[in-house]
Chain A
Amino acid sequence: MLQYMIRRLLQIVPVLLIVTLMVFALMLAIPGDPARALVGPGEALDEEQLEIIRKEFNLDKPVLVQYGIWLSKVVRGDFGRSSQYQRPVLDELRTRAWVTLQFGIAAWVLAVVIAVPAGIISAVYRGRALDYIATLISIGGVAIPNFWFGIMAILVFGVYLGWLPAQGYVNIFEDPIEGLRHMILPVFALGITSCALIMRQTRSAMLEVLAQDYVRTARAKGMSEPVVIGVHALRNALLPVVTVFGLQTGRIFAGAVVIETVFGIPGMGNFMVLAIFARDFMVVQGGVLIMALAVLSANLLTDLIYAWLDPRIRYND
């Protein structure tokens, strides 16, 4: 198990390198002069001054060299400076990442907490009314894009009914009630697709497992249905579902970009979009690194949960 963890941790490194290098190259490929972007808008500089800036920020060097310089600083905790704000990137990213993390985790937890029981019920009552209702909702959840849910939620609950705030962000640790009220709609919009997907996956995994011989064995031992389903079937059915949990992390981060814009939330997604338009090179680079790290950590966590659930992996390694 320990060996397995170490190996999985080491696998993260090359992925991070590749992702950041790709973004690095992409940013350079965007039309426009990075040196000009670096000094920010509204500053008129002549060619000579730009040349000095290029030298200072190594913009005259080959891409790989630039990347190497960036990387060597990052590993020492120096993410560079934001050209928009003229502040260290890490300070800017930290607060925003924290906001996104809150929404992401809430959406993820909400999705799992609703989807897994709904999937189980759907499988156990296969072909009955409950199953059809759940199936209908989940198909809608998968098919309809989450920004549309966001906009509809704003219209219905925010504007028309006026029950919940439709815009903005309140720190939940400063004002728990208002913070929570502000989270409800965006978290719902952010999590609904994942919720629907996890539910479908739980249902099909559960149906498959319920047909297995060991489920019959459990019944033949006189176990009650709740034990058969909750202990014998669920532990096995969760294995493929856990894999989906991990995949949802990436989806939720991608969704955050849209949802934060729709709801005006000062999170990573929103911030990154603005940074890309402003060609705030170091912010984009740092942001991508943090997002990639978050997704990879979630996948690692998923694998560990998987190994914990499945002794065949835990012991065969």
Chain B
Amino acid sequence: METNSQSPEVVLDVDNLTTEFQTPEGLGRAVDGLSFNINKGETLGIVGESGCGKSITALSILRLVPSPPGNIAGGSVRLGNRDLMQISEREMRDVRGNDISMIFQEPMTSLNPVLTLGYQITETLRRHEGLAKHEATARAIEMLALVQIPAPERRVKEFPHQLSGGMRQRAMIAMALSCNPRVLIADEPTTALDVTVQAQVLDLIKDLQERLGTAVILITHDLGVVAETAQRVIVMYAGRKVEEAPVESLFANPQHPYTRGLLASVPRLGATTGAHSSDSRPARLAEISGIVPPLTEIPSGCAFAPRCKQATEKCTAAQPPLEETEHPGHRVACWHTDKVAV
């Protein structure tokens, strides 16, 4: 057990993480001084529009940012008493898929089309747990049963194209959880799925997390998903954290104009879905004009200022610090919200 200043519950502590990309237009920051932590058994939601740096954050934690053009320029990611940014690549490989697992947005392309599901699951088990082939296969079948895939004995011999999108994502989850990781990073796990299947997969993640005690970082652009699943939420914009709060507090008292815009764009639950397109990713938010700036054009003050109705000179001049609000655990980086008097 660790004895440092951290709360013993914290499994992953990200501090001042910064990831840069070399683009033809110059150097840009996809993740800019991001800090957060996650407790054992907790679900942390990370929300923000497409292009806000959510996926790069996840990939940075696993040190899988494509390099070049990407580069983790600074910060630390503590897992237990180790800083993942400092350990060797060999040690890092023992962390990936074992201590920290990741599932991706596209179940269609994230599984290898020429390898059986059984192979893809057992491979992880044999790599990290040193299981013999038959033991690993037995575990793989167990895992597939755990994620409620029918006839798992048969499915292990099948290939990804023989499964539906929802089933593939279940298989991905089985694969990710097979070595009992301490942290599961789920990057838009339901975005590519049908609405009905989305709910099933989210329920599954929730259920497994309770049973296995895994900490989950749930990345999504959909606040509806966060409301149902997460205990705590981080709102990201242009690589920075603009707001952080327990989920109830965020929905009850959204502080940042960006958060409010995101909330206003969530389709009301229970509204008739008939007219709604099944594509749950709007190109633009109804309530906020403009788009996320490209990496090399992020404004120097508050990154959101050009799109913000409340923006003043101060906003374009200086970047607002993240400060506590009157609500416990609720912090925001904005010059124009009411904060607790210092």
Contacts and interface: CB of A to CB of B under 8 A. Distances in A.
B123 A213 contact: no
Contacts of B97: 220-223
A223 B104 contact: no
Contacts of B116: 311
Contacts of B162: 315
B112 A221 contact: no
Contacts of A222: 93-98, 124, 127-128
A220 B64 contact: yes
Contacts of A239: 114
B251 interface: no
A53 to B, nearest CB: 60
Interface in B7-61: none
Nearest to B106: A213
Interface string B84-118: 00000000011111100110101001111111100
Nearest to A234: B114
A171 interface: no
A309 B112 CA distance: 12
Chain B binding surface, main DSSP class = mixed
B94 A221 contact: no
A312 interface: yes
Nearest to B114: A235
B159 A235 contact: no
Contact of B96 (A220, A231, A316): A220
A312 B161 CA distance: 7
Contacts, number: 74
Interface string B160-177: 011000000000100100
A236 B98 CA distance: 25
Interface in A214-245: 214, 216-224, 231-232, 235-236, 239
B234 interface: no
Contacts of B110: 213-214, 216-217
A212 interface: yes
Contacts of A310: 113-114
A171 to B, nearest CB: 41
The residue in A219, A221, A223, A309 that gathers the most chain B C-beta atoms within 10 A of its C-beta is: A221
Given A222-B128, A310-B114, A315-B159, A216 B123 contact: no
B64 A221 contact: no
Contacts of B96: 219-222
Contacts of B226: none
Contacts of A315: 159, 161-162
Nearest to B185: A220
A309 B113 CA distance: 10
A232 B124 contact: no
B305 interface: no
B127 A221 contact: yes
Contact of B175 (A212, A221, A309): A221
B236 interface: no
Contacts of A219: 64, 96
Nearest to A312: B161
A145 B251 CA distance: 71
User: What DSSP secondary structure best describes chain A's contact surface?
Assistant: helix
B62 interface: yes
A221 B102 CA distance: 8
Contacts of A232: 112, 115
A309 B161 CA distance: 14
Contacts of B109: 212-214
Contacts of B175: 221
A214 B93 contact: no
B98 A214 contact: no
A232 B97 CA distance: 16
Contacts of A212: 109
Interface in B104-162: 104, 106, 109-116, 123-124, 127-128, 159, 161-162
A316 B162 CA distance: 9
Interface in A276-303: none
Interface in A183-231: 212-214, 216-224, 231
Contacts of B64: 216, 219-220
B279 to A, nearest CB: 20
Contacts of A235: 112, 114-115
Nearest to B128: A222
Contact of B113 (A216, A218, A223, A311): A311
Nearest to A215: B112
**Chain B CB within 10 Å — which of A220, A236, A315 has the most?**
A220
Contacts of A220: 62, 64, 96-97, 101-102, 104
A239 to B, nearest CB: 8
A224 B161 CA distance: 25
Contacts of A316: 161
Contact of A217 (B94, B98, B112, B127): B112
Nearest to B127: A222
Contacts of B62: 220
A217 B95 CA distance: 14
A223 to B, nearest CB: 7
A1 to B, nearest CB: 14
A101 to B, nearest CB: 31
Given A219-B64, A220-B64, A222-B97, A311 B114 contact: yes
Return the 6 tightest CB-CB contacts between A and B, nearest first. A221-B97, A222-B96, A222-B97, A213-B109, A311-B159, A214-B112
11 contacts: A212-B109, A213-B109, A216-B104, A219-B96, A221-B96, A223-B93, A235-B112, A235-B115, A239-B114, A310-B114, A311-B161
Interface of A: 212-214, 216-224, 231-232, 235-236, 239, 309-312, 315-316
Interface of B: 62, 64, 93-98, 101-102, 104, 106, 109-116, 123-124, 127-128, 159, 161-162, 172, 175
Given A213-B110, A217-B172, A311-B114, 7 more contacts: A214-B113, A217-B111, A220-B62, A220-B64, A222-B94, A222-B98, A310-B113
